[in-house]
């Protein structure tokens, strides 16, 4: 234990909220052993890079950052460089790290985060490098500590892994098959969080809609059941979740939006493409028509629901006509916001082997048109907010202006407004004075 006491660590996180939450766990475990966090790798005894393998861009940034650690090791031979996360679940990446970046001391994966302190102690105690990767693990390790990034909101994993095998995606290979936590463990964790001042939880999973947790009474609970249980937790004010697959979005969950006052009127519903041909080649298991029907049902049940999405441009074989269908779907839905991506080959996925890859210049041209369409929709929807009074959870000081506070509406819209810093962490009424393309401006009432 004492081997780690007083060491300064720095975590660099790439990728999604699952990774951010894993980094919170790593941080919590290190603090439990007497380590202190520092926000500069130059000032640290231990650096951990938590990697993401969803996009090619994240790979490049990872190797660039890893290269910078060499000089820290040269300056201080006791310095420990660690890499973990999704990229480390791929053998070709591990081989590259071992052969080209010999200053790395510890490699671990997504299934054995709980083992990290022991690996670190071995490196300090036995002066040897450690690489430990679990292929998959049926077990969920409960009760790990976590050092939260935010005081008033928290991420809570409800399930791990994915069974869907979308043909462009590496996640089922790096995060393994679906495993759901028990509802009791989730509720217990959220009760502890609310006792600690948390007002908003975001339930995390690659596809929360296929949650199936075994209760202590032998019964299985689906995601809507879980929402109803969490809605009863005293002190909690907001529930969000990320991410849901359209093929598994049930009527029961839509009804939960109506019944559960704490479930925020917001859904991230990744569509990926508007053409049935492309959706089928992506192995998404829904059609454009089915998706639009879901949007219609959601808006009928919850008229002011905000909807965001993910869209991939330039998937192999995407024709101009396919792309036009994506544009028309974007215009029809009129998303509140969308994450748009250029398709990039992920080694080990079926789509990487497709021969009809789209030339980069076509992808970029389509991408620009898509962004314009998304932004037009967001600006129109945000303009409708002018004059409305929104409940806003004040999250902190704006990164752009230290005299401005920033927060989120129930519909996950970012709002900037002037106010006292004492408001941070509170849910307050804000009148919206302007709707911009990416955010809202308002004044405190």
Pick out residues in 242-261 that bind ligand SF4 (CB under 6 A): 245
Q: Which of 113, 93, 90 is nearest to 104 (CA)?
A: 93
Here's the x/- map for ligand SF4, 123-152, by CB under 6 A: it reads as ------------------------------
CB of 375 to ligand SF4, least distance (A): 24
- Determine, following the binding rule CB under 6 A, whether residue 162 of this chain makes contact with ligand SF4: yes
Residue 260 assigned ligand-binding role: no
Residue 300's alpha-carbon distances to 18, 224, 258, 409, in angstroms, are 31, 18, 11, 20
Residue 162 assigned ligand-binding role: yes
Residue (111 or 245) nearer to ligand SF4, CB? 245
User: For residues 4 and 125, what is the distance between their CA atoms, to the nearest angstrom?
Assistant: 10
User: For residues 284 and 410, what is the distance between their CA atoms, to the nearest angstrom?
Assistant: 29
Residue 52 assigned ligand-binding role: yes
- Determine, following the binding rule CB under 6 A, whether residue 169 of this chain makes contact with ligand SF4: yes
What Rg do the C-alpha atoms of the chain give, in angstroms?
22
Residue 62's alpha-carbon distances to 48, 110, 352, in angstroms, are 11, 16, 21
- Determine, following the binding rule CB under 6 A, whether residue 308 of this chain makes contact with ligand SF4: no
Residue 166 assigned ligand-binding role: yes
CB of 60 to ligand SF4, least distance (A): 20
Instruction: Specify whether the CB–CB gap between 315 and 134 falls below 8 A.
Output: no
User: For residues 151 and 149, what is the distance between their CA atoms, to the nearest angstrom?
Assistant: 7
Residue (246 or 411) nearer to ligand SF4, CB? 246
To 5 degrees, how large is the angle CA 37–CA 400–CA 422?
Answer: 70
Residue (207 or 337) nearer to ligand SF4, CB? 207
CA-CA-CA-CA torsion for 383, 388, 392, 394, nearest 10 degrees? 70
**Which of 4, 86, 166, 227 is close enough to bind ligand SF4 by CB under 6 A?**
166
- Contact region for ligand SF4 (CB under 6 A) — 62-70, 161-169, 218-226, 382-390? 161-169
**Which of 38, 164, 182, 276 is close enough to bind ligand SF4 by CB under 6 A?**
164
- Determine, following the binding rule CB under 6 A, whether residue 172 of this chain makes contact with ligand SF4: yes
Using CB under 6 A, list all residues that contact ligand SF4: 162, 164-166, 169, 171-172, 206-207, 245
């Amino acid at each position: 234990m004492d081997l780690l006491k007083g060491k300064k660590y720095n975590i660099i996180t790439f990728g999604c909220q699952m990774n951010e939450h894993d980094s919170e766990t790593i941080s919590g475990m290190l603090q439990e052993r007497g380590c202190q966090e520092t926000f500069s790798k130059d000032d640290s005894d231990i650096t951990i890079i938590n990697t993401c393998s969803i996009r090619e861009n994240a790979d490049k940034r990872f190797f660039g950052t890893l290269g910078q650690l060499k000089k820290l090791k040269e300056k201080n031979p006791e310095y420990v460089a660690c890499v973990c996360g999704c990229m480390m679940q791929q053998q070709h990446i591990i081989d590259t790290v071992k052969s080209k970046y010999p200053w790395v001391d510890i490699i671990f994966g997504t299934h054995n985060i709980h083992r990290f302190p022991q690996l670190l102690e071995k490196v300090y105690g036995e002066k040897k490098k450690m690489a430990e990767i679990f292929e998959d693990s049926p077990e969920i390790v409960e009760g790990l500590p976590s050092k939260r990034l935010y005081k008033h909101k928290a991420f809570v994993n409800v399930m791990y892994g994915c069974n869907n095998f979308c043909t462009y995606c590496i996640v089922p290979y790096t995060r393994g098959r679906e495993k759901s936590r028990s509802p009791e463990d989730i509720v217990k964790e959220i009760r502890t969080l609310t006792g600690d001042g948390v007002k908003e939880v975001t339930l995390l999973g690659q596809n929360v809609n296929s949650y199936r947790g075994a209760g202590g009474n032998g019964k299985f609970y689906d995601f809507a059941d879980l929402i109803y249980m969490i809605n009863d937790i005293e002190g909690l004010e907001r529930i969000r979740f990320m991410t849901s697959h359209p093929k598994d979005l049930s009527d029961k969950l839509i009804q939960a939006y109506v019944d559960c006052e704490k479930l925020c009127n917001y859904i991230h519903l990744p569509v990926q493409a508007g053409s049935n041909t492309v959706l089928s080649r992506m192995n998404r298991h829904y059609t454009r028509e089915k998706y639009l029907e879901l949007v219609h049902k959601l808006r009928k049940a919850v008229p002011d629901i905000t909807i965001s999405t993910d869209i991939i441009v330039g998937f192999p074989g995407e024709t101009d006509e396919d792309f036009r269908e994506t544009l028309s779907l974007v215009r029809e839905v009129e998303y509140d916001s969308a994450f748009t991506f250029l398709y990039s080959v992920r080694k080990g996925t079926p789509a990487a082997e497709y021969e009809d890859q789209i030339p980069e210049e076509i992808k970029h041209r389509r991408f620009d048109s898509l962004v314009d369409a998304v932004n037009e929709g967001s600006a129109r929807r945000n303009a409708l907010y002018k004059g409305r009074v929104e409940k806003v959870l004040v999250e902190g000081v704006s990164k752009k202006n230290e005299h401005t506070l920033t927060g989120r509406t129930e519909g996950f819209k970012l709002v900037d407004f002037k106010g006292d810093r004492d408001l941070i962490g509170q849910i307050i009424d804000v009148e919206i004075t302007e709707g911009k393309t990416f955010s809202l401006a308002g004044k405190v009432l």
